[in-house]
């Protein structure tokens, strides 16, 4: 078994009466890419900040990169690259100037060489003299990743890094992440995108501060016990409301031109859909539940 980059148990954080993170256990092997999922306010960012030493846990214990999260936060910060949700670099400085400044903050003895190598590694050489404020979302994202990588961290903590960027930029970003992982870097990334979750070695789904699912995508889908039927044909959108009120149907979602009708009782779903099977042009068939089906199901269990 690989050594663990993250090994924490019972992690808990309160803000006044609100429990933001509640008794969380996470064990991430070195060199893997893990996805951290959940709706806004579920506790993802708070957990990430505790892992990298920016917040002190109220309860729990463990290590990050072999350092105690309670007593060795400074050592953790030196070995972690943390990319925040909001672009946090200086927009009136160029890409190169931003990276030079970060190198000085880390007191890197070979800062100029590191900056040059990082610019080349992330394809930023041609834009190095462009002001950060003039960059598109995708290029700002790349600058932020470059700054995170400048000090050769062992762990990347990425908090919704692809929010607000176009699909091509998201794809390019994930190619970079997997290339870094191949070199032995460990990555924990929070995301709302299901296609990104499916690019991860394992995923953790958190709701109201608690982990409700964890494992590979295949394991999470299989453990849900969910059964999904796909309904296609003219006017199927109009079936959403009547199906919502039928016993056995736990959720109905519209994807493009198809309905996903899900629940845990296959026979009850069959009965619910039986009145629509003879409609002209309507096709109803069982289909493997998608990761999004599972997450809608899990969220419904808590709400």
Give yes or no for residue 303 having a pLDDT over 90. Answer: no
- 165-180 pLDDT, tens digit per residue, is 788 888 888 888 898 8
- 126-173 pLDDT, tens digit per residue, is 999 999 999 988 899 889 999 999 999 999 999 888 877 788 888 888
pLDDT, position 285? 94
Which run of H or E residues covers position 68? strand 67-68
For residues 205-228, give the mean pLDDT: 93
pLDDT, position 262? 94
pLDDT, position 13? 97
What are the structural domain ranges in the chain? 4-220, 225-302
Buried b (16+ CB within 10 A) or exposed e, 55-72: bebeebebbbbebebeee
Rounded Cα distance between 199 and 300, Å, is: 25
- 1-54 pLDDT, tens digit per residue, is 469 999 999 999 999 999 999 999 999 999 999 999 988 888 999 999 999 889
Q: Whole-model pTM?
A: 0.86
pLDDT, position 137? 85
CATH number for the domain running over 225-302 = 3.30.70.250
Task: Say yes or no: domain 4-220 is CATH 3.20.20.140.
Answer: no
Nearest-5° Cα angle at 278, 273 to 260: 35
Q: Which residue has the higher pLDDT, 87 or 152?
A: 152
Give yes or no for residue 121 having a pLDDT over 50. Answer: yes
- 51-73 pLDDT, tens digit per residue, is 988 999 999 999 999 999 999 99
Question: Smallest Cα–Cα separation from 145: which of 166, 174, 167?
Answer: 174
pLDDT, position 1? 46
Query: Which of 112-121, 171-180, 235-244, 288-297 is predicted most confidently?
Result: 112-121
- 269-297 pLDDT, tens digit per residue, is 999 999 999 888 899 999 999 898 898 88
Q: What's the pLDDT band for 301 if we cut at 50, 70, 90?
A: low
The residues that bridge with 7 in the sheet, in sequence order, are 27, 63
């Amino acid at each position: 078994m690989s050594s663990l980059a993250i090994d924490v148990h019972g992690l808990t954080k309160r803000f006044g009466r609100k429990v933001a993170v509640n008794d969380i256990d996470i064990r991430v092997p070195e060199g893997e890419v893990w996805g951290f999922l959940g709706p806004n306010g579920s506790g993802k960012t708070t957990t990430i900040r505790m892992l990298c030493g920016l917040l002190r846990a109220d309860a729990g214990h463990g290590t990050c990169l072999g350092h105690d999260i309670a007593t060795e936060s400074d050592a953790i910060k030196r070995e972690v690259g943390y990319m925040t949700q909001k672009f946090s670099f200086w927009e009136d400085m160029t890409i190169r100037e931003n990276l030079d400044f970060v190198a000085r903050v880390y007191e890197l003895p070979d800062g100029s060489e590191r900056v040059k190598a990082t610019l080349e590694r992330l394809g930023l050489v041609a834009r190095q003299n462009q002001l950060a404020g003039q960059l598109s979302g995708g290029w700002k994202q790349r600058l932020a990743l470059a700054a995170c990588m400048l000090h050769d961290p062992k762990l990347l903590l990425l908090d919704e890094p692809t929010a607000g960027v176009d699909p091509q930029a998201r794809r390019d970003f994930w190619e970079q992440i997997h290339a870094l992982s191949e070199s032995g870097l460990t990555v924990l990334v929070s995301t709302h995108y299901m296609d990104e979750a499916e690019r991860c070695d394992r995923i953790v789904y958190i709701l109201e501060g608690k982990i409700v699912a964890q494992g590979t995508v295949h394991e999470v889908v299989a453990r849900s016990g969910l059964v999904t039927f796909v309904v296609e044909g003219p006017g199927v959108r109009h079936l959403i409301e009547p199906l919502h009120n039928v016993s056995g149907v736990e959720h109905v979602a519209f994807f493009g031109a198809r309905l996903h009708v899900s629940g845990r009782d296959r026979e009850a779903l069959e009965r619910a859909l039986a009145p629509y099977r003879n409609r002209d042009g309507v096709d109803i068939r069982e289909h493997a539940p998608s990761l999004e089906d599972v997450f809608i199901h899990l969220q419904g269990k808590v709400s």
